[in-house]
Amino acid sequence: MDMRVPVGISNRHIHLSEQHLKELFGPFHQLTKLRDLKQVGQYAAEETVTLIGPKGKINNVRVLGPVRNQTQVEVSRTDSYLLGIDPPIRDSGDLRGSAGLTVVGPYGEVNLDEGVILAFRHIHFSNEDAERFGVKDKQLVCVEVEGARSLVLENVLCRVHKDYRLEFHIDTDEANAAGLRNGMELEVIIPEDEKEQAISYEKLRKQEKQLVLVLNCGSSSVKYRLYEMPTARLIAKETIQNVKSSEYETVLQSIVDRYSSYAISIVSHRVVHGGEAFKGSVIVDEQVKQKIKEYSRFAPLHNPINLLAIEISEKILPEAMHVAVFDTAFHQTMPPSSFLYALPYKYYEQYGIRKYGFHGSSHRYVMNRAEQIMETPKEKLRLISCHIGSGVSVTAIRYGESIDTSMGMTPLAGLAMGTRSGNIDPAIIPYIEEIEGTDSAGAIEILNKNSGLLGISGVSSDLREVTAGAKAGIERCQLALQMFTSRLHSYIGLYLAILNGVDGIIFTAGIGENHAEVRQKICNGLEFAGVILDPEANRNMRSEGFISSPYSPIKVMVIPTNEEWIMAADAYQLYVNSPDSEKGIQQEKDREPVNGEESRFDKPQLEVV
């Protein structure tokens, strides 16, 4: 069977809407046909325009008729460099989020916010031609170029319409590179490999640059980042403080309005508690929102706000994909011996009482950076990650998976923190109730907000102020600093034993990244295990790198955390890889079980008594 198609090289051109035709050429102007094109009803007009970009301009750009519903400019990559714009590779009419420029005609000019594309290489098929070739509309095929410069052009889009005439369209840059001329005939190759067949225009379309809005909505603040992915270029960032619950919609709307010139296609939301339902980040759907609501029992200050932000954002950006990234997800690889409490088993089985862990995105980010810094695959590394900020948690990581962590069912458990007590004898709680004349909620409030560094020092929850007080001779500040560091020291010793030795120890977050004295105090006494700090490197560390001696068997690192980048990367990967039908909990169900464990989705809904 003859599987050859003729070549039609497409020069730069513009299709105008009726409105823009009037603005450029006058209110009563009609296009004058210069010559017919091969496709039925299409023609080159006598009219030309000038394209002006940030860096340059191109004169005498041909207008093609007839007029369309929206203006579309098709240029080559070389043209885009001259103009100083970065248009995406798109099918005709797919203009959302494309590049803009200024179009100048004899009567006026038009400023396009979007509409400039590099045309996706494509073949026009009539219904009869499509049946003969065995292709469907939007299918991707290959085209073989024979001769001295033999090559195969992949990802050629099939366009099928009853009025189309058989022709392969390619822009001037690609035609010149392939040595093509108008009228040449090329062989069409239909992919037979299943992986090649699975590639679609929609999938390739998703792999172009996308804007990801990362939202971290706390109980009284909104922290956001705007990323271009997959380049990871940070476009904007801000933290808005003192936000009331009634003000979230106004604040989120103002953020979107501020960047209205950007086409935000993905929104990534931080969610504090995902329980056992979520082992990774997921596309938000109604089931996901219901689970977030259920887990509000375990995170009453955070999950309701996280859910509110999701629902508001869905209303403001209904066309965007919304993704939930859970603090607890990274720790769902912990074995039962790590996550269970020594309570009657029914409390776990029926009510979900267990250790969940937090700061998961932070621990995952620094693990990935350690893999690069140590030049060793994470699947071969044993690491201890110390996230030390106003909240503190330590995680034991074996071969890329969390196997234990210091925080528990809530962030109150584990180490002493800025205002949190960390682990205490549970029998203390009813005694505090009796002393303070309060109930259990009041006692928990004291443990959450009046304890830790603040409670012991009596000065501040800020370690910088506590350290200054210790140096000034204030005994309670000295005691608070000693308790803070000695408990971290103890957890590292515990995880050294659990991991049967480690390859690296990571310090991250505000205190971990910036407080050399604390890092020194934590590591003092661990020399027997192979932890040997370089005092000068520790003292002078200002960014990322090793602070251990070159002769230290265990490498000690400072790695600034970037939870927002993890959130952006997760959301972008879901956008690229997940069809719309695979969302939320169903998507989680379809994943391979972690560590060979069976799915726990069929357990009863969680309650707290």
Could you report the per-residue pLDDT of 183-237, keeping only the tens digit for each?
899 999 887 765 555 566 676 666 667 889 999 988 778 899 999 888 888 998 8
- The DSSP-derived string for 120-184 is PPEEEE-HHHHHHHT--TT-EEEEEEPSTT-EEEEEEEEEE-TT---EEEEEHHHHHHHT--TT-
Which tens digits make up the pLDDT trace of 95-136? 887 889 999 999 999 999 999 999 999 999 999 999 999 898
At residue 283 the predicted structure's pLDDT band, cuts being 50, 70 and 90, is very high
- For 507-531, give one letter per residue: b (16+ CB within 10 A) or e: bbbbbbbbbbebbebbbeebeebbb
* Ordered structural domains, the chain, with CATH: 1-208 (no CATH), 210-356+579-596 (3.30.420.40), 376-563 (3.30.420.40)
Residue 197: the pLDDT is 54
pLDDT at 182 > cutoff 80: yes
What's the helix, strand, coil split of the chain in %, to 5? 35, 25, 35
Check whether 16 has a pLDDT greater than 70: yes
- 332 pLDDT higher than 80: yes
Task: Give the tens place of pLDDT for each residue, 76-91.
Answer: 999 999 999 989 888 8
Is pTM beyond 0.85 here? no
Q: 474 pLDDT exceeds 60?
A: yes
CB-based contacts of 2, cutoff 8 Å, min separation 6:
none
Q: Is 327 a catalytic residue?
A: yes
* C-alpha to C-alpha distance for 364 and 400, rounded to whole angstroms: 9
Provide the sign of the torsion angle of the four alpha carbons 542, 544, 546, 547, taken in this order: positive
Radius of gyration of the chain (CA): 30
Residue with tokens 């508690």: 273
Name the catalytic one among 129, 327, 503, 570.
327
